[in-house]
Amino acid sequence: MSQRFGAALLALVGWLAAASAQEATVKPSFAPEAIEHFEKRVRPVLIEKCFDCHGPKQQKASLRLDSRQAVLKGSDTQIVVVPGQPEKSLLIEAIKQTGELKMPPKGKLSEEDIAAIEQWIRDGLAWPEDTPPADLEAARKHWAFQPVRVVHPPSGKSLEALANPIDAFILARLESEGLQPAPSADRRTLIRRLYFDLLGLPPEPDAIAAFLEDDDPAAYERLVDRLLASPHFGERWGRHWLDVARYANERGYVGVNVDRTYPFAYAYRDWVIRAFNEDRSYKDFILLQLAADQIVTGPDKRDLAAMGFLTVGRRFINNQQEIIDDRLDVTFRGFQGLTISCARCHDHKYDPIPTKDYYSLYGVFASSQEPDELPILEPVQRGPQTEAFERELRRLEEEKARFERENEAMKRERPREFSEKIKPFENRIKQLHATHPGAPPRGMVLLDAPKPTEPRVFIRGNARNPGPGVPRQFLEILSPQGRKPFTSGSGRLEMAQAIASESNPLTARVFVNRVWGHLFGRGLVRTPSDFGTRGEPPTHPELLDYLAARFMEEGWSPKRLIRLIVLSRTYQQSCEGDADGYRKDPENRLLSRMNRRRLELEPMRDAMLAVAGDLDPSFGGQAVDFLKNGRSTRRTIYGFIDRQNLPGMYRIFDFASPDTHSPKRYETTVPQQALFLMNSPFVIERARKLAARLDAEELTEPRLRIRRLYHLVYGRDPRSEEVDKALAFLEAAEADRSESQLSPWEQYAQVLLMSNEFVFVE
């Protein structure tokens, strides 16, 4: 049954998709070679030689040549191209300059270019996608490019009593669709939900008991405030941001036998965690990650670590264009929900992002560089290891100095040999700075180059084929009328300011939507990193704007935003809605119930450590390689992330790919996940620790032990039939105990850790 079901289901989805694809476009089809010819030989010529007068900006003689339709339409007086017949096409006469009309006016095209255009007409005017040119004025009408509106929550009789404006928006919509919200979840469910959503950890049984007993109406609110103030909050929400930032601890493949680690990536990770804990304004959060080098001026250099956002990406065997593209992509998908990389080779096909804008911003990063020596993030906090580090450093420096003293002659006479011989000494010092636990952290910064680059468009994205020059400036679609080029250095700070601005229609919306998505499982816009015309429109546009406006008004405070959302009744709903809601709104776009969510890798692993009682709660510091250091019980966020060879545990549990910006985690279910839970030394060890916890608490009576396990793992009492089943299992396991290296209780504890109730949050 289930297999056939699956196949049929696929079929249905396919049918829906195919039907809609047909609706969308009816396009003439061209041979791939013809398209390739157009893209390689014709389009660049049109862009370079024709578009200035016959493109988006100007249409002399009402002629534009930037879409197939426009070319076919011709000028205001005549047809200029007859597909298939270059000899009858006015365009050819004009570019051959044989008749009266001579184009382009500034000079004749090369014979090759003319031949290419003739061939293109002979091919029937091949054009890959018949999309109309992205007309800026029309594009501005797209909802996401409209200014954030001031919206008031809907009012009405049933809505007046609502304390939280979010509920007014949600309820008004539900009512209009004739749907009911789900009842509030019970308090056990709520506290577990809050703990995982805000801290990524399960509530301790004591915390649950205290919350259940607290009948103050403000108990829930107090709980929220307590969790928001916990240092674990930053670890949970910082990790969400690290997905956006494609964070990893190494640079990817850059050759064999080359050290690939980023020794100071951890400083960025710790900065992000701290920023969430300290509730830094999101505006500063943006500015610092893009341009801390130009903001941090005082003696406290810790904020320089923020620039890891730009620099912890993959290095593509040090290919400069790819590195810059990666930085543009992470910045614009991350902060703006715009896929500007699409404009690297040609104007964006769907959004108003011309290639010129891409290279304007490319110029910003091309004008920024990494220093040879990364700055120390002063003031250095002296820790127990600091002295050991300084001792070791002195020793290595003395060694090096001694070598220099003893080889002064070589230094003078054979400088090349000397520099070769001194290298190991230098490397040892470098290595010490990078790896000693007492070494001060450094910031992975970018700095402005002494002389900024004047960017040029790379035609078809090919750096060897530079086209017209462009100024370094912000995207036109997000700029006020009369956009001005950046004036200060690379322009990176100005770019950051244009993003972190109240008048930017995307910045607040994109962030608010990400926060919503982390709390509900899905954003109001279900394409969190694509707010362009191909993304999905918001399910609740007014609510999105309300939240975005309020977020900005309240100082861009992430904690206030999260607080507002989790205090809503909408957030506190049960996952069990009424049947009507499932039928009318199966995807739960209208939120007539809460979404059930499976724990991601980090909260799952952390929760196992927590319930087993051996979570190491210490904060920050150099990354721990969990594979090499299997006994580490640090939180998962502190693990070493090897992007080149991402270990199985990360891959199978749908960890955010550290290769590029990750808008949302996948949620797959595969047997390798089950194998990890059944067989991995990590889980076996947790089962042992969990059982040992009962012994340490001197619980002997089996029923009490079962009850305690339920409290620890699920946060509730077992039902009597659950106790019976457990006892039966334990008895059977006792009978053949000699065959196994795990005690009955350890076996049983492992079952609890594998269960659905443990890994789903309701």
Q: Backbone dihedral region of 255: left (phi > 0), alpha (psi from -120 to 50 degrees) or beta?
A: left
- Helices 507-520, 558-566: axis angle to 10 degrees equals 40
Burial of 298: CB neighbours in 10 Å, binned 0-12, 13-18, 19+ = exposed
**Residue showing tokens 């906090």:** 381
**Which residues between 20 and 59 bind other proteins (CB under 8 A)?**
20-21, 24, 32-33, 35-36, 39
Burial of 579: CB neighbours in 10 Å, binned 0-12, 13-18, 19+ = exposed
Q: Which tokens in the block code for residue 744? A: 């009955």
**Sequential DSSP letters for 77-91:** S-----TT-GGG-HH
Binding residue for other proteins (CB under 8 A) from 351, 494, 602, 606? 351
DSSP class of residue 42? I
CA pair distance 706, 297, nearest whole angstrom: 58
Binding residue for other proteins (CB under 8 A) from 79, 644, 703, 723? 644
Tell me if 374 sits within 8 A of 441, measured CB to CB: no
Q: Which stretch binds other proteins (CB under 8 A): 420-428, 604-612, 658-666, 694-702?
A: 658-666
**Sequential DSSP letters for 618-640:** ----S-B-TTT-TT--B-GGGB-
**Which residues between 228 and 257 bind other proteins (CB under 8 A)?**
252-253, 256
Binding residue for other proteins (CB under 8 A) from 41, 102, 400, 664? 664
> 59 vs 527, which CB is nearer to other proteins?
527
User: Is residue 740 involved in binding other proteins (CB under 8 A)?
Assistant: yes
Measure the CA angle with vertex 74, ends 70 and 79; round to 5°. Answer: 145
User: Is residue 463 involved in binding other proteins (CB under 8 A)?
Assistant: no
**Which residues between 544 and 573 bind other proteins (CB under 8 A)?**
none
Q: Which stretch binds other proteins (CB under 8 A): 51-59, 432-440, 505-513, 579-587?
A: 579-587
CA pair distance 610, 758, nearest whole angstrom: 12
- Signed CA dihedral, 419, 420, 426, 427: sign only: positive
Q: How far is the CB of 35 from other proteins (least distance, A)?
A: 7
User: Is residue 747 involved in binding other proteins (CB under 8 A)?
Assistant: yes
> 34 vs 151, which CB is nearer to other proteins?
34
> 360 vs 529, which CB is nearer to other proteins?
529
User: Is residue 318 involved in binding other proteins (CB under 8 A)?
Assistant: no
Q: Which of 527, 663, 665, 641 is nearest to 244 (CA)?
A: 663
Tell me if 314 sits within 8 A of 251, measured CB to CB: yes
**Which residues between 147 and 206 bind other proteins (CB under 8 A)?**
none
User: Is residue 754 involved in binding other proteins (CB under 8 A)?
Assistant: yes
Tell me if 521 sits within 8 A of 539, measured CB to CB: no
User: Is residue 692 involved in binding other proteins (CB under 8 A)?
Assistant: no
Q: How far is the CB of 327 from other proteins (least distance, A)?
A: 14
**Which residues between 472 and 491 bind other proteins (CB under 8 A)?**
none
Give the total residue count for the chain.
762
> 500 vs 677, which CB is nearer to other proteins?
677
Q: Which stretch binds other proteins (CB under 8 A): 95-103, 365-373, 502-510, 752-760?
A: 752-760
- Helices 681-696, 671-679: axis angle to 10 degrees equals 50
CA pair distance 386, 394, nearest whole angstrom: 12
Binding residue for other proteins (CB under 8 A) from 146, 176, 462, 679? 679
User: Is residue 319 involved in binding other proteins (CB under 8 A)?
Assistant: yes
User: Is residue 333 involved in binding other proteins (CB under 8 A)?
Assistant: yes
Q: Which tokens in the block code for residue 263? A: 């020794």
**Which residues between 70 and 129 bind other proteins (CB under 8 A)?**
128
CA pair distance 551, 509, nearest whole angstrom: 9
Contacts of 732 (CB under 8 A, 6+ apart): none
Binding residue for other proteins (CB under 8 A) from 174, 684, 712, 713? 684
Binding residue for other proteins (CB under 8 A) from 553, 587, 717, 734? 587
Binding residue for other proteins (CB under 8 A) from 422, 652, 723, 727? 652
DSSP class of residue 131? P
Tell me if 585 sits within 8 A of 179, measured CB to CB: yes
Binding residue for other proteins (CB under 8 A) from 164, 289, 331, 341? 341
> 217 vs 671, which CB is nearer to other proteins?
671
**Residue showing tokens 């009402």:** 62
Max intra-chain CA distance, the chain: 104
Binding residue for other proteins (CB under 8 A) from 370, 502, 576, 625? 576
Q: How far is the CB of 449 from other proteins (least distance, A)?
A: 23
Strand partners, 261: 250
Tell me if 349 sits within 8 A of 340, measured CB to CB: no
Q: Which stretch binds other proteins (CB under 8 A): 117-125, 400-408, 469-477, 749-757?
A: 749-757
User: Is residue 19 involved in binding other proteins (CB under 8 A)?
Assistant: yes
Q: How far is the CB of 338 from other proteins (least distance, A)?
A: 8
Q: Which stretch binds other proteins (CB under 8 A): 210-218, 403-411, 704-712, 751-759?
A: 751-759
Q: How far is the CB of 486 from other proteins (least distance, A)?
A: 25
Binding residue for other proteins (CB under 8 A) from 167, 733, 745, 761? 733
